[in-house]
């Protein structure tokens, strides 16, 4: 499959619906799949931390979760079709799961948040089988629930531990599973639970979802400082003529 590489991170050249269709096919073929949803922050972390880059190198697919990645690809001379976000991918997989009765497992967030997430999934997608869940607070060296997940054999495992913890957990435990799509979804549980409101559609269409989140959560300001550093590095690569596809 075609990829667009940005700062050493190979992004799948695909649109949102095409990506969902691809994952559904992988589920039906019982092919084990590790998905990373990467925004500029993830790309910068991978470039500054070899351990994070090693997690990304284990992924089956990396999708462009962020308009900054899409714009970077355009600047470097090979455009990506559109954003492919973790939240939208999760919701669409739940919609397909409602029809196909997928089994899912959820890992991450606070106890109250994940319980609300499960309740809302059961309410809105009653044919989806939530076979289990665990909050994001656990002893990393003694997470027996990974073996429990392997026994349950879910079709989908949504991991919301934040970057890079969710990628670390999937990488370290993937060999225990024989099938299933494992995808890091960041703060998606908070949105589904209703504890965090997603940006209105108009903000999304204007590619200002990041600004909406910042205005709603000023504590994110420190994290947002990575965006200008990312942009500067992209333009530096452009000047060096390093925009390539592989």
State CA 19 to chain mean position distance: 12
Question: pLDDT for 170-224, tens place per residue?
Answer: 999 999 999 999 999 999 999 999 988 766 777 777 666 666 666 666 665 566 6
Q: What are phi and psi of 104, to 5 degrees?
A: -130, 155
Under 8 Å CB-to-CB from 106, ≥6 apart: which residues?
Answer: 114, 117, 118, 121, 130, 132, 133, 134, 157, 158, 160, 189
Q: Is the pLDDT of residue 92 over 50?
A: yes
- With a pLDDT cut of 70, the percent of the chain lying above it is 88
Question: pLDDT for 110-126, tens place per residue?
Answer: 999 999 999 999 999 99
Question: pLDDT for 28-82, tens place per residue?
Answer: 999 999 999 999 999 999 999 999 999 999 999 999 998 999 999 999 998 999 9
Structure tokens at 64: 């462009």
Measured distance CA(201)–CA(206) in Å, rounded: 9
Q: Is the pLDDT of residue 246 over 50?
A: no
Question: pLDDT for 117-155, tens place per residue?
Answer: 999 999 999 999 999 999 999 988 877 889 999 999 999
In this prediction, residue 93 has a pLDDT band, given cuts at 50, 70 and 90, of very high
Measured distance CA(240)–CA(67) in Å, rounded: 23
Query: Can you give the pLDDT at residue 214?
Result: 61
Query: Can you give the pLDDT at residue 242?
Result: 62
Q: What is the pTM of this model?
A: 0.90
In this prediction, residue 245 has a pLDDT band, given cuts at 50, 70 and 90, of very low
Measured distance CA(10)–CA(6) in Å, rounded: 6
Answer with the residue of higher pLDDT: 228 or 219.
228
Structure tokens at 148: 């429990």
């Amino acid at each position: 499959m075609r990829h667009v590489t940005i700062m050493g991170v190979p992004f799948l050249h695909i649109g949102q619906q095409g990506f969902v269709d691809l994952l559904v096919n992988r589920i039906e073929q019982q092919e084990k799949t590790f998905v990373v949803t990467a925004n500029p922050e993830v790309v910068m972390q991978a470039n500054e931390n070899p351990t994070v880059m090693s997690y990304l190198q284990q992924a089956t697919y990396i999708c462009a979760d962020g308009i900054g990645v899409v714009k970077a690809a355009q600047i470097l001379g090979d455009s990506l079709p559109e954003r492919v976000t973790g939240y939208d991918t999760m919701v669409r997989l739940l919609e397909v799961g409602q029809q196909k009765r997928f089994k899912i497992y959820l890992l991450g967030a606070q106890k109250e948040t994940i319980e609300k997430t499960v309740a809302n999934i059961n309410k809105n997608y009653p044919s989806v089988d939530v076979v289990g869940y665990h909050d994001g607070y656990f002893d990393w060296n003694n997470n027996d629930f990974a073996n429990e997940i392997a026994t349950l054999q879910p079709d989908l495992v949504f991991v919301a531990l934040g970057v890079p913890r969710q990628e670390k957990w999937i990488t370290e435990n993937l060999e225990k599973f024989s099938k299933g799509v494992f995808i890091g979804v960041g703060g998606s549980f908070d949105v589904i639970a209703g504890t965090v409101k997603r940006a209105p559609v108009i903000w999304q269409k204007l590619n200002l979802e990041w600004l909406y989140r910042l205005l709603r959560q000023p504590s994110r300001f420190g994290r947002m400082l990575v965006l200008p550093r990312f942009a500067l590095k992209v333009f530096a690569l452009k000047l060096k003529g390093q925009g390539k596809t592989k």
